Amino acid sequence: MQINKITEEQQIADMLDWALAGRHGLAIRGGGTKEGIGRPVTAEQGLDLSGLTGVEMYEPAELVMKAKAGTTISDVNALLRQSGQRLAFDPPDYGPLLGHAAEAATLGGIFSANLSGSARIKAGSARDHLLGVQGFTGRAQAFQTGSRVMKNVTGYDLCKLVAGSYGTLAIATSLTFKVLPRPEKTRTVLLYDVPLEMAQPLMTRGLSSVHDVAAAAYLPADIAAQCDIDYVKGPGKAVLALKIEGPGPSAEFRCAAIREMLQGEGALEELHGMNSETFWAFVKNVSPFVGTTGTIWKVSIPPANAAKVIADILGKAPEARYFLDWGGGLLWIAMPDGLEEGGDGVVRGALSGAGHATLIRGSSDLRQKIAPFQPQPEAIRKITARIKDGFDPENILNPGRMYEHEDVKASI
Amino acid sequence: MLMPKPNADVLAKRDELVAGLRRIVADADAVIDDKDDLRAFECDGLSAYRQLPMIAVLPSTVSEISDILKFCKAEGVNVVPRGAGTSLSGGALPLADGVLLGLGKFNRILEIDYDNRCVVAQPGVTNLAITDAVKSDGFYYAPDPSSQIACTIGGNVAENSGGVHCLKYGLTTHNVLGIEMVTMDGDIIRLGGKHLDAEGYDLLGVMTGSEGLLGVITEVTVRILRSPEHISAQLIGFPSGEQAGDCVGKIIGAGIIPAGMEMMDRYAIHAAEEFCHAGYPLDVEALLIVELDGPEVEIAYYQTQIDKIAKDCGATVSRISETEEERMTFWAGRKAAFPAVGRISPDYMCMDGTIPRGALPKVLARMNELSKQYGLRVANVFHAGDGNLHPLILFDANNPGELEKCEAFGADILKLCVEVGGVLTGEHGVGIEKRDLMGEMFSEDDLKQQQRLKCAFDPDGRLNPGKVFPVLHRCAELGKMHVHNGELPFPDIPRF
C-alpha cells in the first residue's frame, strides 16, 4: 500500500475523486497507533493525516477548542494545561499496547475510535465531548456537522456517528470539542485485598455516594504487582481504587469521607498528585498488558454483571488475566496464546446478551477470521449498512474495517 | 407554515384504515376517529399551529406499535409520534393525512436498578416521575427541562432535552444509556442498555434528538445520580447585561463549573418579580442566578471566588440563599419567567438559539435594535453558562399581521445567532418552527447528508414528514452519485 501524506485538504478531495472514479479503497490513518483495531483494510492507497496539524481556535472561557485531525493528543493536552484545562474524557494512549510509540495518537484517531479513559464513567465519552466535525464523506463531498457551542439540537447529531466509525463514514479534517477545567487536586483512595465478588458492589457504593467519585477501578493482585507505584504493588494484594478530584479543600474533605465510608472493608491507603496520575494512566492505557502476547479484549458490560462474566471466562480460560475500570462496567481481558479464535467464543459467550466485546489486539489473520467488533442483530445490521451506504456508497473509506460490505441500494 | 400536501388517496381510505387499526389494537377505544375527540391532539406546545390528525391511535403494547407501523408502511400512511405534546417547536404537530401515535399509555417505570445506577422506564413516564421514584433513596435524574412535570422521557430522548443544570450534568444524550425502539419496518431493536458506549455506529446517539423522524421509542434506560450533599444559589445583580456576561465568562475561566448559571434581563426580572415575588432586585439591568452543589466546604470555597469575580465585574447586588426554601424562591422567579411574561402580554413566542457566550453583548445590542425596528418588545432569559438564549418576543395574535411580524423578528434573532457562530436551537428542537431556517446553518449538501440518515431508518419517509427539513427529498434521489460517470477525473494516482 502506498501511503500519501496529506498536508492540505484539497489533496483529500483529489484522492477521493480518484478513488470514487475507479472504486478504489482508501485506508485512512492518523498516527497509525490504532490501525491494528478492526479488520485489516485492503487498499492500494493510504491517506496519512498526521501532517494535517494545528489548533485553529481555542477559547478557554468558552470551554472550546478546534483543531486539525492530525494534531496529537499530547500537543492538545500541553496547550490545555497552560490554561488550567483538559480533555475531561481522559483519552487513553493505546500506542504501546498495540506495538507503537507512546504519544503519537491524534485527535482524529481518538474521536474516530471514540476512546475514553477511566473518567468516562463520570465525565462522559469522547463522543459526548465532540461538538463539531468538518471533513469529507465517501461521496467526495465536503461535509460539516455540529457547531462550536455546548448546546445544540439543530438537525441530526451526525458527530455521534462520526465518533466511533473508525473512518468508515467520513474523513474528519477538523474537530471542534469541549474542554473543561483541570481540577486543582487529584487523590486516589486505595482499598486492598478486596475479593472479586465485592469489587463492583464497593465501587458502586463509591460512585453512588455524595462524594462525587470521578473514576473507579479494580486490579487483581497479579495486575497490581505490575504497577510502578509502591503503594500499589508493594502489598501484593488486589487493589480497588476510587479517584477524587476538585478544589483542594473539597478533594481533601471527600477523600477523608470516602476512607470513613470504607472503614472495616480492608486496609486503606491514599495516592496524591503524581502517584495518582501515574496510577490512572496505568489503568487507562492498559499498561498491564503492554509487551505481552495473546489477544486483548475490551468488554463493556452492566457493572453488576462483572463478577459473573469474569467467573464464566476464567472457567473456560483459566489463564486469562483481567482488570476492571468504569466501576466494573469495563472489563479488560488478556487471553493466553493458542486459544481457539483468540477467545472470541469464550468472551462473547460470557456476556449473555448484555454488553459488547471488541478485539483490541489480535493478529491480522485473526482479525480477518472473526468479527473484531461485536456482531449485530439483523435489524441493526440493516440500518448500519444503510448508514454506511448513505455516507460512502462506493465503499471506499476503510472498506471492511468495521463490518463486511453489504449492497443495500435496492432496499432504499 | 407550508406542510406536505395531504395525500388524497390516503384520505379517501380513512374508514378502511380505522378498521385496520382497530384490528391491531386490543382496545377499540384506542383508535380515535371522531373529530371532537381528535381535537385533544391538534397541537403541541407551539400552539400557534394547529392541525387535526386523520386518526389517532393509543397503543398499549410494543407489539401493537410494531404492527401499527408495519400496517401504516404497507398502506403508505404517514405517522406522527407523540409523548405529552409539550414540544415548543411543533415536533408533534399532526398531519392531515397522518396517524397520530400517542405513547401516553406507556407510563410505567419498569425497573429501578441501583447496582447499575439506572432506571428503566416506558416512554410515557414523565421526566419528574423518574426523580420522584428514586428521590427517597437519595438519587435523581439530572436533565430538568422546565416542563418536567408534564414532559415525558420518550419525548426528552426524541428532542434531546436540556434544562437549567446541563452546564454541569449534560443534556439528555449524556444521561441516556439505552433505548428500545420500533422502526418504520416494525422491527423492535435495542440500542445500548445498562452498559456504556453501544458499539458500532452510534445509533442511540443519533436517535437522541431525532425529533420522531427515525423511530418510535418504546423504552428508555437512564443514568441516575446521587443527589448532592448541599445546594446553594446566589443572586447577583449588575447595572448592565455586558457586565453580567463578563462575570459568567470569568467564573468559567476561573475553573468553576456551577450546577446552573442563569441570566435574566430587566424586563424578565420585573415580570417574574411581579408574578411570584421572588425577592429579585428591581434596580438592576441583569440578574444572574448561580447555583453550586457539592460538599459545604466546596460550595464555600467557590462562593468566595465568585463573590470576588462578581465584585470585580461591577455587581451591585449579591445574595446567597440561606435556606433551601430561599433557594427555591430564587428559582421560582426564573422557572416562572415564561408564564410571568405570558401574563403581561396576550401572546409571546420563545426563541431558543445558542451563541458563543463572548458574543452576548453584540447579540443583546442587535436584539434591542431589532425590537425597535419591529416594534415588538422582547424579554430575555438565558442559560448563561452554556450560551443558550431564550428571548421571549411579546405580541398580540389578535392584531392582524402581528404573528407574522413576530415570526420574522424571531427568524432574524436566530439568523443572528448563526452569524456569530451559534446555532438555531439549543434545546427546543427544529420541528416546524425553525425548519425553514435550516439553510441558514447548513449547506444543501449537508442537509442532504442528514436526510440520508433518515433514509437508513425510514426509506419511505413515513415518520413525521414535514418536520426538521425544509425540502423533502426522495431517498432514491439522495442515494444518487453525481461525482463520477465512469470516467476517471484523475487517471493517475495524485502525487503530493
Q: pLDDT digits over A374-411, tens only?
A: 999 999 999 999 999 999 999 999 999 999 888 887 66
- End-to-end distance of chain B based on CA atoms, in angstroms? 51
Contact (Cβ atoms closer than 8 angstroms) between residue B387 and residue B356: yes
State the cell numbers at B215: 423511530
pLDDT for the residue numbered B496: 43
CATH of the domain at A359: 3.30.70.260
Same domain, A82 and A173: yes
Distance CA(B261)–CA(A150), nearest Å, equals 14
Structural domains of chain B ordered from first start: 8-102 (3.30.43.10), 109-226 (3.30.465.10), 230-338 (3.30.70.2190), 345-437 (3.30.70.2740)
All cell numbers assigned to B214? 427515525
Residues A141 and A23 in one domain: yes
Q: Element (H or E) spanning B471, and its range?
A: none
Q: Which pLDDT belongs to residue A412?
A: 64
**Rounded mean pLDDT, A48-57:** 97
Q: What is the distance of C-alpha A164 from the center of its chain?
A: 9
CB contact under 8 A, B386 and A151: yes
CA–CA–CA angle B289, B295, B296 (5° rounding): 70
Q: A33 and A153 share a domain?
A: yes
Which residues are paired to A45 by β-bridges?
A2, A26
Query: Could you give the ipTM of this predicted complex?
Result: 0.97
A50 and A121, same domain (yes or no): yes
d(CA B224, CA B428): 23
Same domain, A210 and A313: no
User: Distances in Å between the alpha carbon of A24 and those of A364, A396, B19, B154?
Assistant: 21, 6, 53, 43
- Please tell me whether residues A124 and A253 are part of one structural domain: no
Please report residues of A whose CB lies closer than 8 A to that of B494.
4, 11, 14-15, 18
Query: Which residues are CB-neighbours of B77 under 8 A, at least 6 positions away?
Result: B10, B17, B54, B71, B97, B98, B99, B462
CB within 8 Å: A169 and B113: no
Q: Give the largest CA-CA distance in chain A.
A: 69
Comparing CA positions, the residue from B154, B184, B179 lying closest to residue B66 is B184
Q: A304 vs chain B: nearest CA distance in angstroms?
A: 6
Residue type (1 letter), A234: G
State the pairing for strand pair B286-294/B260-265. antiparallel
Residue type for position B426: G
**pLDDT band (50, 70, 90) for residue A339:** very high
Question: A250: distance to nearest CA of chain B, Å?
Answer: 5
Which of A1, A63, A383, A389 to mutate: most B Cβ within 10 Å? A383
Q: Are residues A292 and A350 in the same domain?
A: yes
The 3-class secondary structure across B106-171, one letter per residue, is CCCEEEEECCCCEEEECCCCEHHHHHHHHHCCCEECCCCCCCCCCCEHHHHHHHCCCCCCHHHHCC
Cα A298 from Cα A347, distance rounded (Å): 10
pLDDT tens for B248-297 read: 999 999 999 999 999 999 999 999 999 999 999 999 999 999 999 999 99
Q: Which residue has 463572548 as its cell numbers?
A: B358
Q: Which residues, including other chains, have CB under 8 Å from residue A270's CB and lie 6 or more apart?
A: A187, A188, A189, A190, A255, A259
Q: Fill in the amino acid letter for B456.
A: A
Q: Do A59 and B356 touch (CB under 8 A)?
A: yes
| CA dist., res. A384 & res. A382, Å (int) | 5
Among residues B268, B296, B252, the alpha carbon closest in space to that of A59 is found at: B252
pLDDT digits (tens, 9 = 90+) for A190-248: 999 999 999 999 999 999 999 999 999 999 999 999 999 999 999 999 999 999 999 99
CATH number for the domain spanning A189: value is 3.30.70.2190
- Last residue of some domain: A284, A313, A336? A284
Q: Is the pLDDT of residue B484 over 80?
A: no
| Residue contact B434–A402, C-beta within 8 A | no
Q: Which domain covers residue A326, as residue numbers?
A: 287-369
Q: How many folded domains does chain A comprise?
A: 3
- Cα-based angle A153, A159, A165 (whole degrees, multiple of 5): 150
Best mutation site among B120, B201, B296, B414 for testing chain A: the one with the most A CBs within 10 Å?
Answer: B201
Answer with the one of A237, A261, A284 that is the final residue of a domain: A284
Residue A17 near residue B489 (C-beta atoms within 8 A): yes
State the CB neighbour count (10 A cutoff) for residue A354.
16
Position A406 scores a pLDDT of 84
DSSP for residue A411 = G
What does the pLDDT read at residue A300?
Answer: 98
Residues of chain A with Cβ-Cβ distance to B253 below 8 Å are 60-61
Whole-number Cα distances in Å, A316 to A281, A310, A349, B272: 30, 10, 10, 66
Strands across the sheet containing A321-325: A268-272, A185-192, A239-246, A215-219, A321-325, A330-335, A295-300, A356-361
Of A392, A360, A387, nearest to A373 (Cα)?
A: A360
Does the structure show a pLDDT above 70 at B186?
yes
b vs e for B287-296, b when ≥16 Cβ sit within 10 Å of the residue's Cβ? bbbbbbbbbe
Mean predicted confidence (pLDDT) in B227-232: 96
Average pLDDT, chain A: 96
Helix, strand, coil % in chain B, rounded to nearest 5: 40, 20, 40
Inspect the interface and report whether the beta carbons of B196 and A120 lie closer than 8 Å.
yes
Please state, as a whole number, how many other Cβ atoms lie within 10 Å of the Cβ of residue B137. Answer: 13
* pTM flag (> 0.90): yes
Look up residue B463 and give its DSSP letter: B
**Which residue of B425, B444, B452, B460 to mutate against A (max A Cβ within 10 Å)?**
B452
For the record, the C-alpha cell of A171 comes out as 474523513
Question: Helices A196-207 and A306-316, interaxial angle, to 10°?
Answer: 150
pLDDT at residue A409 in the model: 76
- Residue A236 has which C-alpha cell? 501484593
Task: Render pLDDT for B29-65 as a digit per residue (tens, 0 to 9).
Answer: 999 999 999 999 999 999 889 999 999 999 999 999 9
In this predicted structure, the answer to whether residue B492 has a pLDDT above a threshold of 70 is no
Q: Taking residues B156-178, what's their average pLDDT?
A: 95
Same domain assignment for residues A365 and A312: yes
* Nearest CB to A61 within list B253, B427, B475: B253
Give me the long-range contacts of A233-239 (CB less than 8 A, separation at least 24). Answer: A235/A192, A235/A193, A235/A267, A237/A192, A237/A193, A238/A192, A238/A193, A238/A194, A238/A195, A238/A196, A238/A199, A239/A190, A239/A191, A239/A192, A239/A194
For residues A14 and A122, membership in a common domain is answered with yes
- Better-scored residue on pLDDT, A195 or B494: A195
Q: B295 and A250 in contact (C-beta within 8 Å)? A: yes
pLDDT in tens, A108-138: 999 999 999 999 999 999 999 999 999 999 9
Q: What is the least distance, in Å, from the CA of A197 to any CA of chain B?
A: 13
Distance CA B459, CA A412 (A): 5
How many CB contacts within 8 angstroms connect chain A with chain B? Answer: 311
Q: Is the dihedral of CA A361, A363, A364, A369 positive or negative?
A: negative
Of B159, B170, B475, the CB nearest to A412: B475
CA gap B359, B493 in Å, rounded: 45
Instruction: Compute the Cα dihedral for B338, B341, B342, B346 and give only its sign.
Output: negative
Q: Give the integer Cα–Cα distance in Å for A42 and A25.
A: 7
What is the bridge-based pairing of β-strands B109-113 and A330-335? unpaired
Give the model's pLDDT for residue B495.
38
Cβ partners under 8 Å of residue B415, min gap 6: B437, B440
Q: How far apart are CA B2 and CA B97, in angstroms?
A: 14
Burial (CB < 10 A; 0-12, 13-18, 19+), residue A83, is middle
Minimal CA separation from B483 to chain A, in Å: 7
Q: Do A7 and A109 belong together in one domain?
A: yes
The HSE-up count of residue B100 (CA atoms within 13 Å, CB side) is 29
Q: Predicted confidence band at B486 (pLDDT cuts at 50, 70, 90)?
A: very low
Residues on chain B touching A154 (C-beta within 8 angstroms): 423-425, 430, 434, 438, 441
pLDDT at B491 over 80: no
Q: Per DSSP, what are the bridge partners of residue A295?
A: A335
The CATH number given to whatever domain includes residue A175 is: 3.30.465.10
Tell me which residue in B257, B358, B449 faces A143 most closely, judged by beta carbons. Answer: B449
pLDDT at B472 over 50: yes
Q: What is the dihedral of CA A290, A295, A300, A306, to 10 degrees?
A: -90
Whether A240 contacts A346, CB under 8 Å: no
Contact B358 A61 (CB under 8 A): yes
Contacts of B279 (CB under 8 A, 6+ apart): B273, B329, B330
pLDDT digits (tens, 9 = 90+) for A281-317: 999 999 999 999 999 999 999 999 999 999 999 999 9
Residue B494 reports pLDDT greater than 90: no
Of A266, A284, A302, which residue sits at a domain end?
Answer: A284
CB contact under 8 A, B453 and A160: no
Residue B335 has pLDDT above 60, yes or no: yes
**Distance between CA atoms of A21 and A15, rounded to whole angstroms?**
10
Q: How far apart are CA B458 and CA A383, in angstroms?
A: 9
Helix, coil or strand: residue B308: helix
Looking at the structure, tell me whether residues A50 and A175 fall in a common domain. Answer: yes
Residues 6+ apart with CB under 8 A from B31: B18, B21, B22, B25, B55, B56, B57, B58
Residues A131 and A195 in one domain: no
